[in-house]
Chains A and B, each alone.
Chain A
């Protein structure tokens, strides 16, 4: 009887999802493809057979069945797998958990709640699988909840706008289990939960944070430390942070100094001041930046310390990148730091320093303060400077652009064309001319495009002349631009081909215009 209902359920699902079709995924003919000789079972038959085998006394049969069911996205396969999560054999439960994860994108709300309830399974690997799934599914639980309610809304007479305000909340039993998982015996489970609990609507409190900061595993403490900026600093947490600042390893201390940069509570200052005396240059640097963010006004000594320390660390790391951006929060004095850091040995840090430095008022108006950056040996740095200019300033003065046109770097000259996009037409001609005689084809191509797009000066004549250019790429580009302009451009091309029948380009034109 059960099987009969299962069959009906599956048929309904198949109608909703569509029947499997081999043509759906058919590839182009491939010599390696092997012709199918034997007639296999249908999906339904395979699922039902595996479902039946899950009730066998033979553990190996149940194990194989749990593995096979992971290959099918039909809801019936999932129903069997969710049931297998209660199997007495750890191996079968593990296999079922991995199979569910393989098709997790098809899971519905009730199915996921059942899966999540296994976060207290006695086996650590199952708990790892379940806790890692929160990261993938947690974010869509609210949508799944709303979808479920929408399906029943007409019957219950609920208003859609009310449904759209509903947020997912964990059932009490699961909430209790997830909260307990913060203190799971396995550190990977604890880390997974710390990283994803918010998507389940679970709130952090001071007691919980304090306990997490006391974890025996340093990786867990590092994760927990990332939460300290979201909680008020109560005496117990401060005490725990003091202990960490005294006794923890370099990586944990580093994370503490880093997290302090997001805390606006001065109670943490003595702890960070102590860290700023640490022997590790990275901890010193991060602590000094965090202190500069916490204590105002920032004294000049600290500004010098930060600048010196940054320049002395000849590394490029994600932490340094983060700190580089944090410096912006120091206020006016950060301009001095950023200016100096445009000389950093590491390219990425120079890029960030330039992009931050150029944002200060009046820097861009004085080209003496930044023009030398366009001579940086790194293409990335030069590109970053130009991108920042483009974002901040609509138009640069002519004399600045003329200076840029003299750059020995092709990329700088190419980007002058970008900066000319919004330039007034009357002043554009002079600069455009200089770029039209550039020795790099790409520069000429770009300026040709610009003057055509904006119909600058004698753009028709310039394009016409380019048709006779010795460079084929330029010729082709001029043809394309003229064709794109429509009837007018086509007429120019036709008359050019008539007037110059012997030129090879005219043959190309005749073909293109046909």
Chain B
């Protein structure tokens, strides 16, 4: 139903992160299609689009951690080091089958005609594009910071995503990927064992938030094949540091109620604004936010009001990371196999 909130966006050691980002910057400058040809033969290469300022790139460790996980845990042999491209017209795109991007790693989304053509060719000849943060609720504001810290299930792609693809494929449109789609169970099925998470939220998590281990994904078919997948930010739950600890801390956002709470919430003070968020059934929730783009409660279409509660803790953080990693593995394995 809806997802989580990272309260520890970029890890605790900012200096270390700057050093890491600087080293990635060098990598970025030097990685070209030539580097693509130099990688290990035999393993699948994943491209990652990062345009603009590499220093401001989001979750720098996430994709490589996930690819490592895929390489180690599945029979898919995949190179854990993504090949960085900075535009869709990089020749490497047409020599690859899978492209990942975090939508906020690019500021200017006005594609050149050359980029449009290249992306079209890539998708038409069987390429798979995963647009992380391709869904971002309007209550998260115009900037990208909150959009990178809240994975909120809004069942519609960002307006810009819609615009880009309507220009390239005018006859196709994004649709909610159904819960019974193969993408959710190609490698792992269901949610991780929830025994460690608090009893009070276990039911919500397994039945309403991530039913059967599914998530709010929007898809676009090209030639009757699922070629583009967009999700709220998921990459925030992949990255591990050198010692194997999760880099981000993520909390559960849970919808809760109590007798009389609907009436109380309908008149309670809120310091932010209220926004609409599209539900899976096509109707709209009204989200009331606090400062810092913090969703506080929701007015649901059937008239019920529920409050967003945030659950923290090591076991919760670990559980969310395990789920996001499982979901990431499923999406990539699906992209590779299809």
Chain B residue at minimal CB-CB distance from A90: B200
A34 near B32: Cβ-Cβ < 8 Å: no
Cβ-defined contact, B291 with A68, below 8 A: no
Q: What is the distance, in angstroms, from A323's C-beta to the closest C-beta of chain B?
A: 12
Pick from A26, A32, A50, A63: contact of B138, CB under 8 Å = A32
From residue A137, how far is it (CB to closest CB) to chain B in Å? 12
Chain B's nearest CB lies how many Å from the CB of A450? 14
Task: Verify B261–A68 contact, CB threshold 8 A.
Answer: yes
Closest chain-A Cβ to B277's Cβ sits at a distance in Å of 8
Q: Which residues in A have their C-beta under 8 angstroms from that of B27?
A: 379-380, 383, 411
| A383-B261 CB under 8 A given contacts A34-B275, A410-B34 | no
Taking the closest CB of chain B, its distance from the CB of A454, in whole angstroms, is 20
Q: Chain A contacts of B224 at CB under 8 A? A: none
Contacting residues, chain B, for A306 (C-beta < 8 A): none
Q: Which of A153-199 contact B (CB under 8 A)?
A: 188, 191-192, 195
Return the CB mask of A127-165 against B: 1 if under 8 Å, else 0: 011001001100000000000000000000000000000
Q: Which of A31, A43, A322, A379 contacts B35 (CB 8 A)?
A: A379
* A379-B30, A387-B23, A442-B29 known; A128 vs B269 contact (CB < 8 Å): no
Check A411 against B273 for contact (C-beta < 8 Å).
no
- Chain A CB count within 10 A is highest, among B30, B256, B273, B275, for B30
CB <8 Å contact, B243 and A24: no
Interface: A40 (CB within 8 A): yes
B40, chain A: closest CB distance, angstroms:
6
Q: Given the known A-B contacts A32-B138, A68-B264, are A46 and B26 also in contact in the complex, defined by CB atoms under 8 Å?
A: no
How far is B30's CA from A379's CA once the two chains are assembled, in angstroms? 9
Q: Is B16 an interface residue (CB 8 A)?
A: no
* Candidates B29, B39, B80; contact of A377 at CB < 8 Å: B39
Beta-carbon contact of A68 and B268 below 8 Å: yes
Q: Which B residues lie within 8 Å of A192 (CB)?
A: 313-314
In the assembled complex, A444 has its CB within 8 A of some CB on chain B: no
In angstroms, how far is the closest chain A Cβ from the Cβ of B182?
30
Q: Which residues of B contact A95 (CB under 8 A)?
A: 309
CA A476 to CA B72, docked complex, whole Å: 45
Instruction: Assess the B309–A347 pair: CB atoms within 8 A.
Output: no
Contact B258 A67 (CB under 8 A): yes
Asked if A34 and B276 make an inter-chain contact with CB atoms under 8 angstroms apart, the answer reads: yes
Residue A409 at the B interface, CB < 8 A?
Answer: yes
Name the contact of A68 in the complex, choosing from B31, B198, B307 (C-beta under 8 A): B307
B118 within 8 A of A: no
Given contacts A377-B40, A383-B27, contact A32 B34 (CB under 8 A): no
Residues 260-307 of B at the A interface (beta carbon under 8 Å): 260-261, 264-276, 286, 290-293, 296-297, 307
A33-B274, A125-B199, A415-B26 given; A40·B314 CB < 8 A: no
Bound-complex Cα distance A272 to B271 (A): 60
Q: Is the CB of B296 within 8 A of A71?
A: yes
List 9 A–B pairs whose Cβ atoms lie within 8 Å, in order of A's numbering.
Answer: A32-B139, A32-B275, A40-B267, A41-B267, A67-B307, A70-B309, A71-B297, A101-B310, A377-B39
